[in-house]
Amino acid sequence: DTGVSQDPRHKITKRGQNVTFRCDPISEHNRLYWYRQTLGQGPEFLTYFQNEAQLEKSRLLSDRFSAERPKGSFSTLEIQRTEQGDSAMYLCASSLVLQISQETQYFGPGTRLLVL
Amino acid sequence: AQSVTQLDSHVSVSEGTPVLLRCNYSSSYSPSLFWYVQHPNKGLQLLLKYTSAATLVKGINGFEAEFKKSETSFHLTKPSAHMSDAAEYFCVVSDHSTGFQKLVFGTGTRLLVSP
């Protein structure tokens, strides 16, 4: 399977713990996005990378959140000192941008986080 | 700012009958519009997209959508529903004024298909 993959698929943690999620984009895709989806809502943009550079962060991304994309390949999203409000599905998407108007984002299956 | 409104949170149809999922958008710029589908425990899959070419867009699995600028609408249709179409559908708007494709999702419409 050459689609976007995410690991783990499910994570249960206690409030105050740190968690880290991983996203592996489609090979050679130069852009990578993170979204958060809470129950009954559509996904909301968190941040994106162009190769290894993080170029935009949403106001939803508090100081407890950090994302990296070393070497422009896989990406990690870390949440420190988790809170119950962090419980959500975290989605990753990647794209190959040749012409911005033709960009298509391909989504992974997501990581479902439950903070107790 | 861009936004989309999905007018129905749930739509129920019988197998073999037409499907209509409604979406209205708001955008200050020439928008790109998308429909994505989300099946349980699976990632979002792109059904179709509009990027200022033909106003009637054909997608996968027999779905199509028509861009109507005068009505700021982008409704999704399918002539005949199949049981496998049962899923959550998201209407999405994006503009590139930010320099990247920031997708703004609607709240979703759950399509229920009965035998």
Residue entry with tokens 């409604």: B22
pLDDT in tens, A54-90: 898 898 888 999 999 998 899 999 999 999 999 999 9
- As a whole number of angstroms, the longest Cα–Cα distance in chain A is 43
B35-44 mean pLDDT: 89
**CA–CA–CA angle A108, B5, A102 (5° rounding):** 50
Instruction: Mark B22-44 as b/e (b = at least 16 C-beta within 10 Å).
Output: bbbbebeeebbbbbbbbeeeebb
Is residue B41 pLDDT above 90, yes or no? no
Which chain B residues have any C-beta within 8 angstroms of a chain A C-beta? 32, 36, 41-46, 49, 51-52, 90, 92, 96, 98-108
Q: For residues B101 and B98, what is the distance between their CA atoms, to the nearest angstrom?
A: 8
For residue A91, list chain B residues with Cβ-Cβ distance below 8 A: 43-44
**Best A104, A111, A112 residue to mutate vs chain B (most B CBs within 10 Å):** A104
State whether A42 and B42 contact (CB < 8 Å): no
A107-111 mean pLDDT: 95
The predicted pLDDT at position B51 comes to 83
Closest CA to B90 of B67, B110, B108: B108
Residue entry with tokens 């990581």: A111
pLDDT in tens, B47-63: 999 987 788 999 999 99
The predicted pLDDT at position B30 comes to 79
Q: Residue B96: pLDDT band by 50, 70, 90 thresholds? A: low
Interface A:B, Cβ pairs < 8 A: 61
State whether A91 and B52 contact (CB < 8 Å): no
The predicted pLDDT at position B95 comes to 67
A81 burial level (CB within 10 Å; 0-12, 13-18, 19+): exposed
Q: What DSSP element (H or E) covers B61?
A: none
